[in-house]
Amino acid sequence: MNALKNRVQLIGNLGNTPEIITLESGKKLAKFAIATNETYKNSQGEKITDTQWHNVVAWNKTAEIIEKYLEKGKEVMIEGKLTSRSFEDKEGNKRYITEVICNELLMLGNK
């Protein structure tokens, strides 16, 4: 059960072309966001689509695959774990962000 403690699976579409960063060590880092949609009917019977955005980070081989094959609009399934961190913005305010650290990626659709 330890493998299930912090596990996330998402299917969504890339909201932007991934940002690829090559570190001094030669390691690659990919950053991108995916949108997931949930559709339901409200109390008036109207169809409502709720879109959630998820920040995703991938390293090394996964980042290389992302750099080569993924672009804005592509549908993907990712699996990974949630992490949270904080940073200071340009104005000195402390900001918090939650990201999915992607360790598996599956390209879906023909987009």
Residue 36 bridge partners (DSSP): 52
d(CA 23, CA 46): 48
Element (H, E) at 85: strand 75-88
Residue range 45-85, pLDDT digits in tens? 999 999 999 999 999 999 999 999 999 999 999 999 999 99
**Contacts with 71 (C-beta within 8 Å, 6 or more apart), sequence order:** 14, 17, 18
pLDDT, residue 2, reads 64
Domain extent listing, the chain: 11-80
d(CA 13, CA 53): 10
Residue 106 bridge partners (DSSP): 77
Q: What is the model's pTM? A: 0.84
Q: Any idea which architecture 11-80 has in CATH?
A: Beta Barrel (2.40)
